[in-house]
Amino acid sequence: MIERLAVLGATGDLAARFLLPALAALRAGGHLGERLSLTGASREDWSTERYREWAAEQLDRHAGDCSAEARARVAASARYLRADVTDPADVAAVVAGDGPVAVYLALPPALFPAAVSALHRAGLPAGSRIVLEKPFGEDLASARELNRLIAELVPEQAVFRVDHFLAMTTVQNVLGSRLANRVLEPIWNSTHIAEIDIVWDETLALEGRAGYYDHVGALKDMIQNHLLQLLCLVAMEPPITLGERDLRNRKVDVLRSVRPLTENDVLHRTRRARYLPGRIGDRAVPAYADEEGVDPRRRTETFAEVELELEGWRWAGTRFRLRSGKALGADRKEVAVRFRPVPHLPFGQGGGARPNVLRFALEPEGLALDLTGVGSRAQELAPLSLTARMDPAELPAYGRLLLDVLTGDPALSIRGDEAEEAWRVLEPVLAAWERDLVPLEEYPAGSEGPAPRYP
């Protein structure tokens, strides 16, 4: 296990809300060695003591379920260096020390190339690893160039392009439910499944993230990485093992099988919109264009929907709908597998059968199956719902990812070719939206999103 972790961007939201609490969870669970040290680097002119005080405050706020001892030990293990993450000399001071180091780039994606170049010029100890957050690049060309830069720094096995969705318990359950239950795998195909909706709708609006969000929008922030990763797990062929080679090969196969979108497809199978003023519960929400830090001229979308088809025997004829929106009236975060109707109902006028739907709820985590049965009156159909209780995860998603980084297991990280294939899938959408071929619709904050195209 690597015993040194360096975080570039160590005073940001990612470190405060996720990385520090993940380290506390690992410490509380006995997963970290006694010698693990944390070096934080950022632009703030802080001392190590000031950083430890800040880290302790963030841990109290975001890791209250961990013991006070674990939180205190994480804060005490940290040292801080003021650094320009694009300056090789500053970066060299951050990574200096005995033995390999795991370098976490908790930075805006636009800084990745410069930070990787600085790391290359600074030099990394043998056996070191590098961790990058999504989105990986800003388009296909930049993803390829970033892959080239990283390949000059460390081998692919030492690159962790992380997506915390892959470490969520319910996301793991997509594979578990499919592959460990004979009742599901034989019907996991287009003969029985009509549609699969992969949805991340949230009531949260911009919440002060204009500096990041206004440069990416819903398509790049959610669909290009998180939701395409979920698509891979839902649609992949059963891997021989869940080792990094077998699992990641099958995920790449899914992305390669996505039927390329023509310009006409983009016009009819994608949507984009942004929110207007409205109310969410008792909270008034301004229009996205009026949020602090937003440049309306960018025409950034806060709602994106893309419909995809896969080429191959298993999924020909099944539609996959990927959707994400902000400032909506209700949270809906799920993978919904919609089965085809039965060919005949012998119940006369006793009511119709609603579609069977298997729902993997992502946040909060859960599992439910919508069925149809006979109600209180003979031969009258009524809905039934079966739900499963989910045990809480041993580790938070970022805890699992950090443990994989420190122990060197890349199975849940995204391989270089996979990152490029994900951009290939959405390149036609990005190009058409850039040319305004798809209108930027609007919806009131607190609503269900843009009105249906067809009544």
Catalytic residues: 226
How many other CB atoms sit within 10 Å of the CB of residue 348?
Answer: 8
SS3 for the chain is CCCEEEEECCCCHHHHHHHHHHHHHHHHCCCCCCCCEEEEEECCCCCHHHHHHHHHHHHHHHCCCCCHHHHHHHHHCEEEEECCCCCHHHHHHHHCCCCCCEEEECCCHHHHHHHHHHHHHHCCCCCCEEEECCCCCCCHHHHHHHHHHHHCCCCHHHEEECCHHHHCHHHHHHHHHHHCCCCCHHHCCCCCEEEEEEEEECCCCCCCCHHHHCCCHHHHHHHHHHHHHHHHHHHCCCCCCCCHHHHHHHHHHHHHHECCCCHHHHHHHEEEEEEECEEECCEEECCHHHCCCCCHHHCCCCEEEEEECECCCCCCCCEEEEEEECCCCCCEEEEEEEECCCCCCCCCCCCCCCCCEEEEEECCEEEEEEEEEECCCCCCEEEEEEEECCCCCCCCHHHHHHHHHHHCCCCCCCCHHHHHHHHHHHHHHHHHHHCCCCCEEEEECCCCCCCCCCC
CB 245 within 8 A of CB 413: no
How many other CB atoms sit within 10 Å of the CB of residue 371?
Answer: 15
Instruction: Give the separation between CA 368 and CA 388, rounded to whole angstroms.
Output: 6
Instruction: Give the separation between CA 408 and CA 416, rounded to whole angstroms.
Output: 16
Amino acid at 402: L
Before 364, cis peptide (omega within 30)? yes
Instruction: Give the separation between CA 405 and CA 72, rounded to whole angstroms.
Output: 22
Instruction: Give the separation between CA 429 and CA 419, rounded to whole angstroms.
Output: 17
CB 158 within 8 A of CB 129: yes
